[in-house]
């Protein structure tokens, strides 16, 4: 683990995407973070490696699966996805958002309120999902009756105590403060 933010190699630093409220999906004032190479993409044990990494940084692993094929967001928790196998194209921010390609070895930190949806994926696509300790996720799909309640929830979600990948030295600690 690096001792400070500046000890993280440049190729491991987060790529940031700021997503705006589109009137349906609130998205967030916090940027979406994509860490391009967290674990060895060909290691058959990288799901366990993601789980150990996330747990060590206060984001206990919650599930192994894929990503839903419809726009959804969580208003009560931040989320991290560790891509264990395969690759996918994911829409972030709702229908008007951005598409990103993710592949084995990548981690994606999704702030509360940011919509996400799998557009396409390889047949072997596998993800580990985790949430900051003490946060419980809900499920929202952009129905008009969800807001403004979800907006209130999102404002109440505490910032994590550590970046799920690099702990106290991680980019999240600077970019989300």
Task: Map out the domains of the chain as residue ranges.
Answer: 11-175
Assign domain 11-175 to its CATH superfamily.
Jelly Rolls (2.60.120.10)
More confident residue, 177 or 98: 98
Per-residue model confidence (pLDDT) at position 69 = 98
Tens digits of residue pLDDT in 95-136: 999 999 999 999 999 999 999 999 999 999 999 999 999 999
The 10s digit of each residue's pLDDT in 40-94 is 888 889 999 999 999 999 999 999 999 999 999 999 999 999 999 999 999 999 9
DSSP-assigned letter for residue 125: -
């Amino acid at each position: 683990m690096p001792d400070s933010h500046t000890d993280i190699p440049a190729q491991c630093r987060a790529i940031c995407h700021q997503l705006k409220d589109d009137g349906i999906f609130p998205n967030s004032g916090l940027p979406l973070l994509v860490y391009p190479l967290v674990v060895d993409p060909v290691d058959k044990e990288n799901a366990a490696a993601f789980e150990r990494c996330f747990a060590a940084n206060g984001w206990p692993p919650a599930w192994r699966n894929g990503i839903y094929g419809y726009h959804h967001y969580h208003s009560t928790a931040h989320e991290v996805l560790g891509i264990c196998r395969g690759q996918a194209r994911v829409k972030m921010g709702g229908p008007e958002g951005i598409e990103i390609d993710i592949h084995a070895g990548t981690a994606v930190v999704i702030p509360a309120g940011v919509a996400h949806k799998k557009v396409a994926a390889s047949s072997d696509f596998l993800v580990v999902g985790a949430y900051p300790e003490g946060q419980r996720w809900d499920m929202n799909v952009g129905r008009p009756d969800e807001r403004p309640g979800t907006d209130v929830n999102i404002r109440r979600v505490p910032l994590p105590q550590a970046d799920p990948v690099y702990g106290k030295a991680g980019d999240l600690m600077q970019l989300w403060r």
